[in-house]
């Protein structure tokens, strides 16, 4: 694994409304800005990428109160930035590709953002193992320059900025140093897919199984918590002032890392068991309710 830098325990489950407030408002003597790490799909937006006005207004209120909102997602940079733009975030950090890529937001930059950290690995061994078990699946690799290559067209709307993705033969995917690999199997049941992933026997990488026959592969030891630890140091935030919220298996490390963690109500039991509190589901704006309670918004 390599990286480049540029530019510069499980809690107990409880209802979100039982949480104690954290960080008084600016101007109060006890104000401590919180680093609020937020998964995107199923946490900020629903699974059709819809952002409710209540979620948006509460997240904007948290940012305007002086807290650090940090998008922490399995999405690649374009998809992560799309969410940051919808929340009008113009400064701070975004953790993309499950921690392998970190962006810094700054309105003074030409495009408003830059890649400040990208961790890569040789994807060839993992790709060979995966294609042996799932020969008809779709595969995509992304490099440190945010260029993406795939062996076929992914289902519409499953990847942001799909126009920028180059379709290449499978063997060419193995020639690129990757920040992540995405595997998407459009056929078969979730149970069959999980059995296939177990048969692959991946080693020397980090991986997370998604909701819809989706597998994210990252450099070994790289996950959302890994990226967020680096961001925490850059922001000068104490670990006691960290909050994490998510709904997927790729959020487990983040929820375990955060001082205070929120699992969404529709999450699997393993995710709920890793969190301090369990919020209402995404369709009921559970994140908004949990943050209002925790931050006293």
Show the 3-state SS of the chain.
CEEEECCCCCCCCCEHHHCCCCCCCCCCCCCCCCEEEECCECCCECCCCCCCHHHHHHHHHHHHCCCEEEEECCCCHHHHHHHHHHCCCCCEEEEEHHHCEEEEECCCCCCCEEEEEEEEECCHHHHHHHHHHCCCCEEEEECCCCCEEECCCCCCCCCCCHHHEEECCHHHHCCCCECEEEEECCCCCHHHHHHHHHHHCCCCEEEEECCCCEEEEEECCCCHHHHHHHHHHHHCCCHHHEEEEECCHHHHHHHHHCCEEEECCCCCHHHHHCCCEECCCHHHCHHHHHHHHHHCC
Confidence of residue 285 (pLDDT cuts 50, 70, 90): very high
Confidence of residue 215 (pLDDT cuts 50, 70, 90): confident
CA dihedral 267→295→98→225, nearest 10 degrees, is: -100
The confidence score (pLDDT) of residue 21 equals 56
Please state which of the ranges 16-20, 102-106, 177-181, 223-227 shows the lowest mean pLDDT: 16-20
Q: Higher model confidence: residue 280 or residue 214?
A: 280
More confident residue, 279 or 202: 279
At 22 the pLDDT is 64
Identify the band that residue 208 occupies on the pLDDT scale cut at 50, 70 and 90.
Answer: confident
* 29-63 tens-digit pLDDT: 567 999 999 999 999 999 999 999 999 999 999 99
CB 131 within 8 A of CB 170: yes
Angstrom distance (rounded) from CA 177 to CA 146 = 11
The percentage of residues in the chain with a pLDDT greater than 90, rounded to a whole number, is: 68
Residue 210, pLDDT above cutoff 80: no
- Picking from 248, 174, 182, 253, the residue whose alpha carbon sits closest to that of residue 221 is 253
Residue 86 has pLDDT above 90, yes or no: yes
pTM reported for the whole predicted model: 0.85
**Domains in the chain, CATH or no CATH each:** 2-119+223-295 (3.40.50.1000), 122-219 (3.30.1240.10)
The pLDDT, as a whole number, for residue 137 is 92
In the predicted structure, residue 17 carries a pLDDT above the cut 70: no
Question: What pLDDT is attached to residue 162?
Answer: 60
pLDDT, the chain, mean: 87
Q: Among residues of the chain, what percentage have pLDDT more than 70?
A: 87
Distance CA 31, CA 137 (A): 50
- The pLDDT assigned to 286 comes to 97
- Tell me the average pLDDT across 141-154: 90
Residue reference for tokens 């060419």: 172
pLDDT in tens, 94-127: 999 999 999 999 999 999 999 999 999 999 999 9
């Amino acid at each position: 694994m390599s990286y480049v830098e540029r530019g510069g325990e499980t809690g107990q489950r409880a209802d979100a409304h039982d949480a104690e407030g954290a960080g008084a408002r600016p101007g109060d003597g006890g104000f401590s800005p919180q680093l609020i790490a937020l998964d995107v799909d199923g946490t900020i937006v629903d699974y059709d990428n819809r952002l409710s006005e209540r979620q948006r207004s509460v997240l904007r209120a948290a940012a305007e109160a002086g807290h650090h909102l940090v998008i922490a997602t399995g999405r690649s940079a374009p998809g992560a930035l799309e969410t940051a733009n919808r929340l009008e975030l113009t400064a701070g950090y975004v953790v993309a590709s499950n921690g392998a890529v970190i962006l810094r937001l700054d309105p003074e930059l030409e495009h408003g953002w830059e890649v400040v950290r990208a961790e890569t690995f040789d994807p060839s061994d993992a790709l060979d193992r995966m294609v042996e078990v799932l020969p008809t699946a779709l595969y995509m690799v992304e490099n440190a320059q945010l260029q993406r290559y795939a062996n076929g067209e992914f289902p519409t709307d499953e990847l942001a900025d799909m126009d920028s993705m180059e379709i290449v033969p499978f063997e060419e995917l193995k020639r690129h140093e990757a920040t992540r690999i995405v595997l998407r199997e459009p056929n078969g049941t979730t149970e069959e897919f999980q059995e296939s992933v177990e048969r692959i026997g991946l080693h020397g990488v980090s991986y997370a199984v998604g909701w819809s026959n989706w597998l994210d592969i990252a450099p070994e030891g790289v996950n959302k918590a890994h990226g967020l630890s680096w961001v925490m140091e850059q922001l000068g935030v104490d670990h006691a002032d960290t909050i994490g919220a998510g709904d997927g298996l790729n959020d487990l490390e983040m929820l375990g890392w955060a001082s205070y963690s929120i699992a969404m109500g529709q999450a699997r039991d393993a995710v709920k068991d890793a969190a301090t509190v369990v919020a209402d589901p995404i369709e009921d704006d559970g994140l908004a309710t949990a943050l209002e309670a925790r931050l006293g918004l």
